Amino acid sequence: APRIAGRAGDRLSAAVPLLEVPAVPLLEVASLAFIAALVLTPLTRRLARATGFVDHPDRRKAHAQSTPLLGGVAVGLALVSGALFARAVGSSDIEPPRIGIVVGASIALLLGLLDDRLSLGPRSKLLGQALAGACLVWWGTHVEPVRQNPILGFLALLGVVTLLNAINFLDNMDG
């Protein structure tokens, strides 16, 4: 039922509906994030080349030429832009992310950038991945048993660290 303007007892209240903001369907938000990624990827590629943020070929790499880095920045910005667009143009089924998701994702992105620039050792990477995973598991989830049960929390953390490590191992593919 539409919301009605006016106060109770006001004769016009039944006749004048308030302006309702339409919900932005998730498919439109995903489409915008995809378009943003298509636009941002070449921009971050140019930025990477201009700042020397490139991966150079070596014997363990699949690429034969210098490959620009910063692709994770483009993807992260595209995801954020889709959600911000949904909030800006209307109501959305997308709720704002919990702080643990934002902090964990930021740590993972920063860790990737630092590793690309400084070639971090395995212990530093593992520590950063565990920190990012801990933020996600204990501050970023709505699943109470995972947050309250130390064994389930540890298993979830182990899963996140394993996935982050698997993504890190793909470094030799394209930069």
Q: Are strands 91-92 and 23-24 parallel, antiparallel or unpaired?
A: parallel
> What's the Rg (C-alpha) of the chain?
22
30: region left, alpha or beta (phi > 0 left; psi from -120 to 50 alpha)? alpha
**44-89 pLDDT per residue, tens:** 999 999 999 888 887 777 778 888 889 889 999 998 888 787 777 7
Judge contact between 54 and 48, C-beta under 8 A: yes
- Write down the pTM of the prediction: 0.75
HSE-up of residue 168 (Cα within 13 Å, Cβ side): 24
Contacts (Cβ under 8 Å, ≥6 apart) of 26: 93, 94
Q: Which pair of tokens denotes residue 156? A: 């979830």
Express the helix, strand and coil content of the chain in percent, nearest 5 each.
65, 5, 30
**146-165 pLDDT per residue, tens:** 989 999 999 999 999 999 99
**127-148 pLDDT per residue, tens:** 999 999 999 999 998 899 998 9
